[in-house]
Chains A and B, each alone.
Chain A
Amino acid sequence: MLLVNGAHAFIVSTLCSNSNSAYKCNPSFAKVFIFRNTLEYLARGLMYGYYDIPFGLEESGVVSLSLEKDGENFIYQSVAAGVRVDKIVLARTGHVLINPIEPMHKPKELTSFLLVEFDKTLLVEPERAKKIFITYPIEIGVFISSGTVVEVLDIFTLARQKFTLYGDPRNGVICKYWSSNVYSSLPAVDPLCEGVIELSITNATKEWVKITKAIFNAYGMKMYYNDARVTMKATMKILHGKLAETDFVDAPVEQGMKKSMELYTAKKLTVTSTKFLMGWGL
């Protein structure tokens, strides 16, 4: 930690690990935060959490957020990964919540499915359950609330973006694409860019099964975060050699994690199913 600019700002660096993969965070992003209010940083450690408006925070060269008083109203401005957003907020007072959300909105909301491709093929023993850890991209949602009413103010991401097709062009589904290493324990990742999925794989068949990927339905994502990482718990039940079902578990991976506000909750969308049936191969 380095104190700069008198009593109202200081800088903290975080690590961006796993930047060797083609679809990881941009390694040129320097992870440096400048909080305008020192106490705010001491209270939370990272940019995630609640802020009273007006507020402002900056991440050198990567993210800059502010909601400043302008006469009777507020001006919201964000610059994230080179993209600037300006909005006028007509409010007297309120709170802002910044937390990780489902990675399905940037650069365009084309799909609700996330495909995570493993760097190595997994071979799963018959009638066996195993737990692995994989990474996934995150987006960061900025919510504004007045009383109990919450609205999405902004969404940005520092993760690399790519889409892919699962299945064939006629019947398949477009998915957000992410390539991940497979870990046997919780990996250290950049919590502003990547999250970790604790994936419980159950092979219900009597055969060995190869798995190269997992597809998730973002409508079921239950994200939790703390100062070190963003996590989700998911399950994959292999029904036969080429069919598996994925779903999410609403529980933190580590004790004391805070639950993220899901964007689909904020948007008041009616979620019909949180599962995904992988029917075009594992």
Chain B
Amino acid sequence: MILETVVYGDVTLLDLMRIVVILVIAIVIAKGLTLNIKRGLRDKIDKYHIEVITKVVYYGIIVIAVLAVLPILGIKLSGLLVAGGIAGIVLGIASQSVVGNLIAGLFLMIERPMKIGQSVNIAGIAGVVEDIRVISTTLRTFDGLYVRMPNEKVFTTNITNYVEHVARRFEYIVGIRYSDDADKAIGIIQNLNEEHPLTLKSPSSDIFVDNLGDNAVNIIVRLWAPSTEWYGVKKELLWKIKRALEDEGIEIAFPQRTVWFANELRKQELDRSEVSESGSE
């Protein structure tokens, strides 16, 4: 039969056809799988990373298929396996951190604790997420510095995402004098809150006398604002509160201490005796 025609060595035309069929099936599987991965991850991770993952999957399947057909061509894999095993150990040790970062990066892309453009604090470094790559994550600190963090570190540390929730609360402590009317002060601050467009109507604000301090009656002011706006609102409102209170005669208290002497000072005693002496003359 023509299919049993030897092409070279022990490889027949039938073997070549089997190789072609296996490779075609592998390509079809690889294409189908990458298409599904693209669809599945479309809304979860960005385009660049989808490309990387699909290429790894596609060529991984092709490589496995090629390895599968090599014995048909008469190439024994046992030798390759020994060499590959040694090379694998060497590469594995050498690329331990790289693989760790790669896997952490994949988990970060799936878990998505942050998105590009969000303000975050990772391991004490605060900034805006510039990019989340397969190996590393880059931040632009609020000072404008570029910080690259390995994904393994990002994945295993605490991440504070400042803007993941749509609203957040901030607070001030306003200390007024004991002689001032705290209810009036609370009313003034509440009015400012009502008038400011970017402090939220709901959740409602919380303004109350928190404690009677050493030098002031401390009013705590807790306000809610959209997460994207809270910092600007916080900067703006404190000075407005101070000015509004002062306009109504309420002053911000400053540390002071009244000292009472148990025994009068020697000088005062002398002054008094001088006065009494001059009076008797």
Contact surface of A with B, Cβ cutoff 8 Å: 22, 107-108, 110, 160-166, 169-170, 172-174, 177
Contacts and interface: CB of A to CB of B under 8 A. Distances in A.
Q: SS class of chain B's interface: helix, strand, loop or mixed?
A: loop
Contacts of A166: 202
B165 A107 contact: no
Interface stretch (B21-29, B51-59, B222-230): B222-230
Contact of A110 (B168, B194, B202, B226): B226
Contacts of A110: 226, 228-229
Contacts of A170: 165-166
A137 to B, nearest CB: 11
B165 A163 contact: no
Contact of B201 (A107, A172, A173, A177): A177
Contact of A22 (B166, B168, B194, B197): B194
Interface string B145-182: 00000000000000000000111100000000000000
Given A163-B226, A174-B226, A107 B167 contact: no
Interface of B: 165-168, 194, 197-203, 224, 226, 228-229
Contact of B166 (A107, A162, A174): A174
Contacts of B226: 110, 163, 174
A174 B166 CA distance: 7
A192 to B, nearest CB: 19
B197 A172 contact: no
A177 B198 CA distance: 10
Given A108-B229, A163-B226, 5 more contacts: A162-B194, A162-B197, A163-B199, A172-B166, A172-B167
Given A108-B229, A110-B226, A110-B228, A173 B197 contact: no
A177 B203 CA distance: 12
Given A172-B167, A174-B167, A165 B202 contact: yes
